[in-house]
C-alpha cells in the first residue's frame, strides 16, 4: 500500500475535489481521508465555527485546523501529489492551495 493507491476522495461519502482530513497518526489506509462533514461525524466534533478556508475555533477560541481528536488536514505536495505532508511540516504555499479547495460540493 502506498499513498498513490489512495484516491484523494472522502472514504465515507466519496466526495472529491474538496478539502480532506486524516488521522494524525494513521493515514496509509484505504478510505483514510474524510471530508470535513464526515470527519465531524466520525470524531463527534463540532465544526460549526469552521471557516471556508478549513480552520475552526477550538474550545479556547483559538484557530486550529484539527477536527476533533487529532484529524489534521491531508495536504498534498504541489510537487508530488503522492506526498501528504506531515502536519507540522506543511509548506505555506501547499496549505494555501488546500485552503482554496471547497469544504463541500453542494452549497459551498
Does 45 contact Zn ion by CB under 5 A?
no
Give me the residue label for grid cell 466520525. Answer: 42
- Interacting stretch for Zn ion, rule CB under 5 A, among 5-13, 21-29, 61-69, 83-91? 5-13
Interface stretch with Zn ion, choices 33-41, 47-55, 57-65, 86-94 (CB under 5 A): 33-41
> Among 20, 32, 35, 90, which residue sits at the site for Zn ion (rule: CB under 5 A)?
35
Alpha-helical segments (H) within 28-104: 36-43, 92-100
Nearest to 49 by CA among 32, 35, 66: 66
Residue nearer to Zn ion on the CB measure, 17 or 91:
17
| Of the candidates 67, 84, 89, 74, the residue with the CA atom closest to the CA atom of residue 15 | 74
Q: Which residues bind Zn ion (CB under 5 A)?
A: 10, 12-13, 15, 35, 38
Amino acid at each position: 500500500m502506498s499513498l498513490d493507491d489512495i484516491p484523494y476522495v472522502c472514504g465515507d461519502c466519496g466526495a472529491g475535489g474538496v478539502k480532506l482530513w486524516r488521522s494524525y497518526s494513521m493515514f496509509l489506509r484505504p478510505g483514510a481521508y474524510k471530508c470535513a462533514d464526515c470527519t465531524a461525524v466520525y470524531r463527534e466534533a463540532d465544526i460549526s465555527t469552521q471557516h471556508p478556508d478549513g480552520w475552526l475555533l477550538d474550545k479556547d477560541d483559538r484557530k486550529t485546523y484539527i477536527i476533533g481528536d487529532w484529524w489534521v488536514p491531508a495536504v498534498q505536495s504541489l510537487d508530488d501529489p503522492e506526498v501528504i505532508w506531515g502536519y507540522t511540516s506543511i509548506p505555506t504555499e501547499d496549505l494555501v492551495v488546500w485552503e482554496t479547495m471547497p469544504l463541500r460540493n453542494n452549497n459551498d
